[in-house]
Structure 1
Amino acid sequence: MSCTGATPCPYPPPPWHLRGHLWGGLFAAESCPAPPADLSPVLPRSLAVLLIRYREGTLVYDELLVGTLARRGLRIGVHVHRIWVDDEQSMWGGRRIWGVPKELAEFRWHSRRVRVTDGEGLVATLGVTSRGPSLPRLPLPLAAFGSLDGTRTFITARFSARPSAGSLRAHEWSARLPALRRPGAPIGLAAASFDIRLPAPALLPRRSPRSGQQRPYVGDFR
């Protein structure tokens, strides 16, 4: 489905049930964006990158997520810094249901490499590999923080996959993103087959900023 300008596309209501392939890596970064003041950083010099191909289910699209691990109380998840998809329904659903700042991009695949570009140019060129046999299907944790109408959202997914050792390598990397110390991720994961169910997010109560801090800006993607 195609929409024009800022007109929202109709998008499926939650939950979304999706299946596909995933590659992820935890990259050492020169520096990472600080999370909003209501979140605390976890591994502050590490950048989480997920490249996902949703091939069946509610919608079919590709996605690239760049974020940092963050914590609020006992909740730990990825604070989404930037996220790109190649489907407008996914973009609007991500913004309006979960409060994550999805942007449109083009994903051009050539064998085991993908080049991602948006309206400003290159985002990244990434190479992916999977090594060794897949493990039996396992439930795995997957959680993220977003922001919806000024309220912090916490997204927990029911996620199961057949994981294997894998790698994600940045052959090209936009200057708009945090600089990487090296192009490869020391910690990598691949899932040739995963199943995910994304329900509506939990809405967390507001927190007053700590003494001497201003209330963080939280985006409104409507």
Structure 2
Amino acid sequence: MYPPEPWHLRGQMFLSVFLIPRGRLPQLPPVLSAAVRPITIGGRAAVGAAWVRYEPGGVLHYQELLSAVLVHERGRPRVSITDIWVDSMASREGGRRLWGIPKEMAEFTIDTDSDPLVDATATVPGEAAPIGSALVRLKGRLPGRLPIAFTVAQALGDHVRRTPVRGRAGLRTANAAWRPEPGGPLGYLAGRRPVLSLAVTDFWLVFGRSATDRARSARS
């Protein structure tokens, strides 16, 4: 029903970073909160929220809205995804079963046809109010293509699943106005301005480990 890991993915991401008081963060699952801690600056944690279009050329193509907290595990930086919606059942099931990513289903409009404006909305079918929307104004391109490398840490059953993500992408600076539903799961972002917004353009990613890497890790 879904591809085996690793997933090779291509697409576009529109990312904003917020600084949120630690007490307002979504609660992590107990097995995960025992292993990681939010990275804080003056009592505020960094939360990334992103709209993503995974495009043909990868193993799956679909749309996504997510929020994630920057955490550390004994000083090693990790990313923990707290809320995420997709419009692909294969992505939902694969994300949950392979890596413990708590994907839910939603319907999306991510309009990129009016460059430099990107207008995005996500709605759960049957719900009156959307999860949220955003208007992103794209700005200048940064030269070259930059490497991407981070580790996602999620609760998978009774243990922590650590998943490497690697790739390359172009970058554009951006301004973004987010409009999450105040009473919804992203309500803790309502009324807040991001401290940084970027478009991660024409990226390619390898999400997860190959069978060889998994066997090597099991032996170590």
Q: Establish whether TM, by shorter chain, passes 0.5.
A: yes
In the TM superposition, structure 1's runs of 4+ consecutive aligned residues that sit over 4 Å from their partners are: none
Query: Structure 2 stretches of 5 or more lacking a match?
Result: none
Give the match's secondary structure for 1:142. Answer: strand
Q: Which moved more, 1:133-142 or 1:58-67?
A: 133-142
- Asked if 1:41 corresponds to 2:41, the answer is no
Alignment of 1:20-169 (within 5 A): 20-29=11-20, 31-35=24-28, 36-43=33-40, 44-56=44-56, 57-110=58-111, 111=114, 112-119=118-125, 120=127, 121-169=129-177
Q: Higher helix fraction: Structure 1 or Structure 2?
A: 2
Instruction: Provide TM-score, normalisation by structure 1.
Output: 0.79
Range moving further from structure 2, 30-39 or 104-113 = 30-39
Structure-1 separation of matches of 2:122 and 2:171: 24
Helix, strand or coil at the partner of 2:93: helix
Cα distance, 1:194 vs structure 2: 0.6
How far 1:28 sits from its partner (Å)? 3.0
CA RMSD of aligned residues (A): 2.3
SS in structure 1 of the partner of residue 189 of structure 2: coil
The gaps in structure 1 that reach 5 residues or longer are: 1-9, 205-222
Cα pair 2:151 2:164 within 8 Å, conserved: yes
2:68, 2:81 within 8 Å by CA — same for their partners in 1? yes
1:174 shift after superposition: 4.2
SS in 2 for 1:144: strand
Equivalent residue of 1:179, what SS?
A: helix
After superposition, the C-alpha distances for 1:1-60 in whole angstroms (9 at most, x for unaligned) are xxxxxxxxx101011111110111111335212442321111344321121110121000
Deviation, 1:106, is: 0.4
- Asked whether the equivalents of residues 32 and 46 of structure 1 are also in contact (C-alpha less than 8 Å), the reply is no
SS, match of residue 122 in structure 1: coil
Contact 2:142 2:170 in 1 (8 A): yes
Shift of 1:78: 1.7
CA contact (8 A) 1:98 1:200 kept: no
